[in-house]
A and B are shown apart, each in its own frame.
Chain A
Amino acid sequence: MFFTYLWRELRRRARQAIFIAIGLALGIGLVITVTAAASGVKNAQASVLHSLYGVGTDITVTKAPTAGSGGPQSFGFGLNTGTASRPAAGTKIDTESLRGTGLGTISSTSVTTVASTKDVAAAAGGLELTDTKITGTIPAINSSGGSGGGFGGGEGGGSSGSGGQSFRSSFTPTTFTVDGVDITNGELGPLSTSKLSSGATFTSADTTAHVALVDSDYATSNKIKVGNKVTIDKTSFTVIGIVTAPSGDTPPDYYIPLTVAQTLASMKNDVNEIYVTATNGQDITTVASAITKAVPGTTVTDQDSLASQVTGSISSAASLANNLGKWLAIAVLIAAFLLASLLTMSAVSRRIREFGTLKALGWKSRRVVFQVMGESIAIGIVGGVIGVGLGFLGAAAVGKFAPPLTASLTSGTTGTATPGGARSFGGGGGFGGGGGGGGFTGGFNQAASNAASTVTEHLTAPVTIAAVLAAVVLAVLGGLIAGSFGGWRAARLRPAAALSKVA
């Protein structure tokens, strides 16, 4: 009787029922589409971040450089620090140094501390270094290079002058980047995203060996092959393998064992980046804050905070999906719920005598209420089914018509430059100047990474089972809400309403 009665009633007001169902369907379809688009954007972000960052790395720990320590600003010729005097013209310069890159140093014991923090599965230290080699001859200078700025006249800065230009052109600076990687934790850290394209990777025997992996792009442009000898900080290394980083990544040019890197850079017991995997992927934020507490003074970056550093259409897509889309879906859903409730109420008002009669026949209020609720839940379910269909269509449309997303990383994760470093290259502070502002290497690196870390991702909007379930719950909820308004009305009816004058 319940279903017969329910079905007949819905058929009688089929138009209204379809109208309500479509309203709910639109709301639910929008919720599914937006959820799918949002998770698509999130996936795209994650894959961007992974390619920039390393698969399996949930969190990184870095430290801002403190003045006068470890940062690039101390780079110099070695002979001029603290003096205003210049080397004599004609002096041959051939210098090479391996330094930490715009990141503060973290003690190796912090890696152990991080590793033993609650919910941390593994932690690996890394040392990001830049090798800078400058060769040339000091030219004769016809004008003073500036008292504060050292030699650095600059194309980008204020103190540009012909003297600076000609001075600079007589040097050949070469820089390349070197990552010291923790071999015992090979699955974590900068190597984790890369694919070995030839040769072999590090083994546990390589901890102190002078062996290197070379990035494939760098290897190609410098014609380096497996088995070649290369020089890093005046030390000879054997190339044992060539690795390819995913597109969009900013890989270092060389990977060498961490211990070797620490020795070469005179940074024994120091790292400048810690890569962390959490045991539970859900709880990154909690783990991140636990690490912040455990190792004070560090910058703990998880993917969410990293995502906020990503710019480009991917972040507009993210805010579109997360803000506009979400609110639009909620607004439409609320409108649909309201509409359903109002129409159900009015449908009950038109059936006062009918429900009064049923009560006069001895139907319990509860049974009448169930009948009313049943009707609107049935409408809700139909709306949910249509809505899921619309949601799949919407998600497919997003995947099909959405333009490719681009992502750029604005501030460094791979240890590029501090703001000082970025500013200094073309500006008034010079390399070798007594009190120069920032690093040479930083400037290079920043430029390189800006060029390299724009990634294009195609947006797919996956509809998850959870989203479909949530939609069904929403649909039933919509029906339930509408039904309870109607049901509440029906429940309050007295049986004497059977004799009411209104039909």
Chain B
Amino acid sequence: MYKLTDVKKDYAKGRGTVHALQGVDLEIADGEWMAIQGPTGHGKSTLLQILGGLDRATSGSVLLDETDLTRLGEGSMTKVRATTIGFIFQTFNLIPTLSAQENVETALVPLGVSAQSRKARSAEALASVGLSDRARHLPTELSGGQQQRVAIARALVKEPKVLLADEPTGNLDEDTRDEIIALLEKLWQDKGLSMVMVTHDTAVARRAQRLGTMRNGKLTVKQKVV
């Protein structure tokens, strides 16, 4: 699925430069679930953004299947995000003015899906996260767990190959966290997704097939001992 070679990412910060990624090598197989842990500010989100085409590496190559994301133009990059990648955020990031179902529909807008099929597919996606009865609710009328379910439906309604989740349970209480992880695990299995999940939670990380640790912009990967 992914093959990263010596990926570096620098941010200009004031007068200086932050070396957020300092040469990451990583391979992720199709259908694999990988968890990434590590202290705050050590580059986890940066890596995930580069995997998801939300940002570009400063150097190195990021192969997604056969395409090198570092060489893509803006238009193609947008297309990759629209078709191939599902992204879940710690802060859910639902559009506050749109209902649950409309939020899911926003993921289908760039695909040029007809309004009718957009509605049908969104309703279906909401059903798959168990929220059919909340379709018309606004985000503010939903609990944190419900909001993240809507976000998961939104990430998966386009049937992406990859699901990237940046601390998806970071804003949730423990019970809800377990529900969400269980849901993600089920969907991962059902849909044969590749999944990369950043998490602080060791209990969650342990369920993944592989566990990476980011420290000072470098990634060390441990094969999970079964």
Report A's interface with B, CB cutoff 8 A: 1, 4-5, 8-9, 11-12, 353-354, 357-365, 367, 494-496, 498-499
Contact = CB atoms under 8 A, between A and B. Distances in A.
B107 interface: yes
Contact of B105 (A1, A353, A365): A1
Interface string B29-54: 00000000000000001000100111
Contact residues of A: prevailing secondary structure: helix
A362 B110 contact: yes
B55 interface: yes
A1 B109 contact: yes
Contact of B55 (A358, A364, A496): A496
Sort chain B's interface into a size bin. Answer: 20 to 34
Contacts of B45: 499
Given A5-B98, A354-B96, A357-B95, A495 B54 contact: yes
Given A1-B118, A11-B97, A494-B54, 19 more contacts: A1-B106, A5-B97, A12-B97, A353-B91, A353-B93, A354-B93, A357-B89, A360-B81, A360-B87, A361-B106, A361-B154, A363-B109, A364-B75, A364-B78, A365-B78, A495-B55, A496-B49, A496-B55, A499-B45
Given A361-B81, A361-B107, A361-B154, A12 B54 contact: no
Residue from A12, A357, A364, A494 whose CB has the most chain B CB atoms within 10 Å: A357
Contacts, number: 83
Contact of B96 (A12, A358, A498): A12
Contacts of B55: 494-496
B109 to A, nearest CB: 5
Interface in B81-119: 81-83, 87, 89, 91, 93, 95-98, 102, 105-107, 109-111, 115, 118
B81 A5 contact: no
Interface of B: 45, 49, 52-55, 74-75, 78-83, 87, 89, 91, 93, 95-98, 102, 105-107, 109-111, 115, 118, 154, 158, 166
The 9 closest A-B pairs by CB, nearest first: A362-B82, A8-B97, A362-B81, A362-B110, A495-B54, A357-B93, A496-B55, A496-B54, A496-B49
A358 B106 contact: yes
6 contacts: A1-B109, A9-B97, A358-B106, A360-B52, A362-B111, A495-B54
Contacts of A9: 97
A354 B110 CA distance: 16
Given A362-B107, A367-B110, A499-B89, A354 B95 contact: yes
Contacts of A1: 102, 105-106, 109, 115, 118
Contact of B83 (A354, A362, A495): A362
B87 A498 contact: yes
A251 to B, nearest CB: 71
Nearest to B109: A1
A418 to B, nearest CB: 76
A8 B136 CA distance: 13
A361 B54 CA distance: 9
B97 A361 contact: no
Contacts of A360: 52, 54, 81, 87
A4 B102 contact: yes
